[in-house]
Amino acid sequence: MQVFLCLAHLFLYHTWISFLDAPSAAVLLTLRIALTALSFSFIAAALLSFRSIQPLVRIFYTCAAAWLGFLNLLFWAACASWFVWYALLAVVSEARLTPLRPWIGAAFAAAALLAGLWGLVVARRIHVRHTAVALQGLPANWRGRKALLISDLHLGHVNGVSFSRRIVEMASALAPDIVFIPGDLFDGGQADSQTLLEPFRALKPPHGIYFSSGNHDEFGDMAAFTRAIEDVGIRVLSNESVRVDGLSVLGVPFGDSTFPIRMRATLKALLPAPGEAAVLLNHVPSRLPIVEEAGVALQLSGHTHSGQIFPFTWLTRRIFGTFTHGLSRYGALTVVTSSGAGTWGPPMRIGSRSEMVLLTFEEQKS
């Protein structure tokens, strides 16, 4: 990744000095120093984030993560600058076009910077998506009840306790009957997990809060995270099933879900009697043939962030297809994938949005 980041910054440098109008030696030196430092900033910040939760580290990580988002946009702006330049050269002489060269580069760079600033704003606006879910075998007492799906909070250096408090306030206002958190509650580095989760003590849905781990949770100190999660009253489901007023809720950790044989054996051991609706918390919208074959009625996932930032919005759609975001079906299995309430890496969204999903349970008609 570091090699890729260095090459991307080198491409920016080459583009900018090519499109600038005769840059001075001082400008060239400043660009070299700045881009060299920026090329190493995110990896350095990420490594520090696994060792410290000091305020200066948090600020450094947040700035480096934000730059990573701007780098993505500036990279594509640089590509567009070269494309437009050569396209115009095909129809206009270079002598007539040269005076416009700085304006071409500046226009695309400015558009990238404005898009990045807008993306920072969009990422902090959390939407509530309302979805009706019809399940076969749903217990009669669950018809009409509401479940809140909150995934990918990524609490840590960027999303701190104020973000956690805001999530809880929004969730409480929706008054769900039950809350599901299918992974990436934490960002994976060092974190004061008890402080970050303290606001969740105030979230008390009638039928509880249930969590299964995601990949970023397992990057960190999962044992410490688990203690903090359970301490605020959230039930951790690690290859476990719990009966909630007649509804079976299952949770499989991310690590175990990556092994098909283990996933199949776990579901076989945990599932209730055939015909009874079961809800599975599975961080990644994957292993769907195994989950459907096992007889799960509803899988709740996150992980994809719906791509978070263009062009990764396109890439995740290529990888996960219709299961990237929203409600989809795989045979008899219903899958709901959330784009997540938080962000990873760049605290920005372009082409996606932050969300919670409020599900309303309905009985599936034969």
Q: Provide the residue ranges of all domains of the chain, joining segments of one domain with +.
A: 2-122, 127-363
pLDDT at 366 over 70: no
Contact (Cβ atoms closer than 8 angstroms) between residue 346 and residue 66? yes
- Residue pLDDT, tens place only, 310-347: 999 999 999 999 999 999 999 999 999 999 999 999 99
Tell the CATH superfamily of the 127-363 domain: Metallo-dependent phosphatases (3.60.21.10)
Sign of the C-alpha dihedral computed for residues 88, 91, 94 and 99 taken in this order: negative
- Residue pLDDT, tens place only, 117-146: 999 999 999 999 999 999 988 999 999 999
Distance CA 360, CA 177 (A): 10
Contact (Cβ atoms closer than 8 angstroms) between residue 343 and residue 308? yes
Residue 8: name the closest of 50, 48, 44, 38 by CA. Answer: 38
Average pLDDT over residues 38-65: 93
Q: What is the DSSP letter of 365?
A: P
pTM: 0.92
Q: What is the pLDDT of residue 181?
A: 98
pLDDT at 166 over 80: yes
